[in-house]
């Protein structure tokens, strides 16, 4: 998780490769059934995998920083420093 | 999904799931298909009895047969190959059932699934007598009272699913006790 994390693009990427592979295999199944060759179905699935691999796997610089994450402002998660004036109850005992 | 290795892993895992699903669908699509193969085997002829002398421990024979089969209906898109084989089956005192594979043939293509072997050949196969010798365990086959039966069997090997075995077509013949008897019979 770096500064370039893009949650929207990750969600889109997963949906995209699933859609590509499923639609290629659906078409391949019908065509393979028609020509009575399961080999055609396999080749269609592998074509879908190749396409989605090429589009989804590498870090394409083109899409970088489209949806940058909204980080909290600097320093806001730091614990406030303890000071003696802030705990008077301990001092009185 | 935040690094390319994670994406590659997720993509291939999904692909394997899809392949498994497609394979199951393929098997399901032919699950209720009933093939109608036609097969006959006939005209068995013993044409040689090697090992008829007393020194040979096992009785042995060369067998010729006519065979025709139309196995085209076995081929669907879920058929990888059909393994066709002929078995000789008989019972002796030693074993209640002897099964000897004497001939086999692998059909990988629907174009080759219609074949005739023997006198009226349309397809020239390597041999139309036994490919493997019909060797008995001992010499019981000579004195066996029952006939020897030749069966035509085949195994259908699918792309996905179970291997199924079927047999159809049988023919019987008598194994003579001596070579002299065979020679006399063939005159």
Output B35 or B46, whichever has higher pLDDT: B35
CB–CB contact A33 B77 (8 Å): yes
The alpha-carbon gap from B29 to the nearest alpha carbon of chain A, in Å, equals 9
Distance from CA of B25 to the nearest CA of A (A): 9
- First and final C-alpha spacing in chain A: 48
Q: A77 to chain B, minimum CA–CA distance in Å?
A: 24
Task: With cut-offs at 50, 70 and 90, classify the pLDDT of residue A39.
Answer: very high
Is the pLDDT at A20 greater than 90? The verdict is yes
Q: Identify which of B10, B18, B77 has the shortest CB distance to residue A36.
A: B77
Residue in this structure with the two tokens 């001596």, named with its chain if needed: B178
pTM above 0.95, yes or no: no
Pick from B2, B8, B78: CB nearest A1: B2
d(CA B174, CA B145) in angstroms, rounded, equals: 9
A41 → closest Cβ in B15, B22, B76:
B22
In angstroms, how far is the first alpha carbon of chain B from the final one?
Answer: 83
The burial class, CB within 10 Å (0-12 / 13-18 / 19+), for B100 is buried
Answer whether B11 sits within 8 Å of A45, measured CB to CB.
no
Quote the pLDDT of residue A86. Answer: 53
Q: Which residue has the higher pLDDT, A27 or B100?
A: A27
Q: Decide if pLDDT at B177 tops 80.
A: no
Where helices occur in chain A by DSSP H, the ranges are: 7-35, 38-56, 88-92
pLDDT band at A4 (very low <50, low <70, confident <90, very high): low
pLDDT at position B54, please?
A: 63
Residue with tokens 């997963």: A14
Quick one: average pLDDT of A60-89?
72
Q: Give residue limits of the domains in chain B.
A: 1-32, 35-185
Q: Does domain B35-185 have CATH number 2.60.40?
A: yes
Query: Looking at residues B9-36, what average pLDDT do you find?
Result: 93
> Is residue B156 a contact partner of residue B166, using CB atoms and an 8 Å limit?
yes
| Share above pLDDT 70 across residues of chain B, in percent, rounded to a whole number | 79
Contacts of B88 (CB under 8 A, 6+ apart): B63, B98, B99, B100, B102, B134, B148, B149, B150
Asked if residues B90 and B117 have their Cβ atoms less than 8 Å apart, the reply is no
pLDDT at B144: 65
Q: Which of B94, B81, B100 is nearest to B151 (CA)?
A: B100
Q: What is the ipTM of this complex?
A: 0.73
B25-30 long-range Cβ contacts below 8 angstroms, 24+ apart = B25/A29, B26/A29, B26/A38, B26/A41, B26/B77, B26/B78, B26/B159, B26/B160, B27/B78, B27/B158, B27/B160, B27/B161, B29/A33, B29/B77, B29/B78, B30/B76, B30/B77, B30/B78, B30/B158
Residue of B nearest to A34 (CA): B77
Do B138 and B59 meet the contact criterion of CB atoms below 8 Å apart?
yes
Is pLDDT of B58 > 60?
A: yes
Mutate: best of A57, A59, A60, A64, partner B, most B CBs <10 A: A57
Residue A79 DSSP SS3:
coil
Are B71 and B78 within 8 A, CB to CB?
no
Percent over 90 (pLDDT), chain A: 42
Residue B140 CB contacts under 8 Å (≥ 6 apart), including other chains? B59, B92, B93, B94, B95
CB B136 within 8 A of CB B97: no
pLDDT tens digit sequence for B115-155: 877 654 444 444 455 667 777 777 777 766 567 888 989 99
How many angstroms separate the CA atoms of A42 and B16, rounded?
A: 11
B98 - beta bridge partners? Answer: B90
Q: Please tell me the least confidently modeled range out of A29-33, A76-80, B28-32, B103-107.
A: A76-80
pLDDT of the residue at B122: 43
Return the DSSP state at B144. -
Is the CA virtual torsion A20, A24, A27, A30 positive or negative?
Answer: negative
- Contact, A44 vs A27, CB < 8 A? yes
Q: Is the pLDDT of residue A87 over 60?
A: no
Average pLDDT over residues A55-67: 79
Write down the pLDDT at residue B51: 58
pLDDT in tens, B73-113: 999 999 999 999 988 888 888 888 889 888 888 999 888 88
């Amino acid at each position: 998780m770096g500064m370039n994390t893009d949650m929207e693009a990750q969600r889109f990427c997963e949906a995209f490769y699933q859609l590509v592979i499923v639609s290629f295999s659906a078409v391949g199944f019908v065509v393979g059934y028609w020509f009575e060759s399961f080999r055609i179905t396999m080749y269609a699935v592998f074509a879908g995998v190749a396409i989605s691999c090429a589009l989804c796997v590498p870090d394409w610089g083109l899409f970088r920083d489209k949806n940058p994450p909204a980080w909290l402002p600097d320093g806001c998660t730091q614990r406030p420093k303890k000071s003696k004036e802030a705990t008077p109850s301990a001092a009185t005992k | 999904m935040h690094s390319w290795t994670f994406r590659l892993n997720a993509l291939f895992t999904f692909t394997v799931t899809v392949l498994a699903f497609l394979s199951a669908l393929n098997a399901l699509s032919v699950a209720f298909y009933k093939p109608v193969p036609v097969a006959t085997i006939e005209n068995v002829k013993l044409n040689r009895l090697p090992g008829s002398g007393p020194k040979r421990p096992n009785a042995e024979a060369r067998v010729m047969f006519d065979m025709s089969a139309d196995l085209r209906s076995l081929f669907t898109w879920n058929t990888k190959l059909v393994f066709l084989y002929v078995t000789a089956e008989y019972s002796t005192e030693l074993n209640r059932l002897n099964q000897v594979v004497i001939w086999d043939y692998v059909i990988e293509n629907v174009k080759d699934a219609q074949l005739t072997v023997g006198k009226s050949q349309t397809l020239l196969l390597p041999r139309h007598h036994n490919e493997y010798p019909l060797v008995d365990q001992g010499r019981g086959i000579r004195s066996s009272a029952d006939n020897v039966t030749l069966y035509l069997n085949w195994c259908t090997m699918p792309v996905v699913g179970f291997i199924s075995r079927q047999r159809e077509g049988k023919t019987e013949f008598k194994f003579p006790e001596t070579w002299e008897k065979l020679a006399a019979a063939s005159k």
